[in-house]
Structure 1
């Protein structure tokens, strides 16, 4: 199996990713890497950071906008023609998003973040040194 790496940009004050199965601490790693089912709908993509992910600088945690403020999230991603019906959908989105993000189920991300200061070297190659 080949190791695979990709770059995700994480707020410097974000908490470290918890172990798999441990309580979510708002690290954001999973949502920065790829959207969950509700994020796919809101982001209109399957890869990359979720558009619903929001950084809360006060609590220094990432939060799902579909849960924290579904009305504002729908206003952001829906065309203006749909805005008159967004209140009803926002209530539904807020409830469904809790299930879709597996709230209360613990960390389900197998991703292991690596600091940019750590050097990643292919196991079959020796590191090179440049003066």
Structure 2
């Protein structure tokens, strides 16, 4: 059954499965990943942690973009290690694993 998800008009098109992630947001706008389910306490619908990065014209995970703080080098080091751990857990940088087909709203009906 087709579902409608809403994405920013400037979001890049969804890459083919296995291709590098480009921040299209389709996967997270469709449903949260297991880590997103825990962090956002949501099992269905768009992940509450999905953030639009206007400067980069792409979506990003709010878990990875949490501020590291400026309380000293040790704290920044721990925050960076935590972000690397989280990135591995959500598969960031591993390539697109969404088997969803994204069709723009203005695309002609098939």
- Tell whether the structures are fold-level matches, with TM greater than 0.5: yes
TM-score where L is the length of structure 1? 0.69
Give runs of aligned pairs for residues 45-64 of structure 1, distance below 5 A.
45-64=42-61
Q: For residue 37 of structure 1, report the CA deviation from its aligned partner.
A: 1.3
Secondary structure of 1:112's partner? coil
The answer as to 2:7 corresponding to 1:18 is no
Pairing partner for 1:29 from 26, 29, 44: 26
CA RMSD, 1 decimal = 2.3
Name structure 1 gaps, 5 residues minimum. Answer: 73-86, 122-131
Structure with higher helix content: 1
- Offset of residue 94 of structure 1: 2.6
> Between Structure 1 and Structure 2, how many residues are aligned?
102
With the length of structure 2 as denominator, give the TM-score of the two structures.
0.81
- Sort the Cα spacing of 1:101 and 1:114 in 2 relative to 1 into closer, same or farther, 3 A: same
Alignment of 1:1-131 (within 5 A): 4-69=1-66, 91=79, 94-120=83-109
- Larger-Rg structure: 1
Q: Which has the higher contact order (CA 8 A, sep 6+)?
A: 2
Deviation at 1:50, TM superposition (A): 0.6
Which runs of 5 or more structure 2 residues have no equivalent in the other structure? 70-74
Shift of 1:93: 5.2
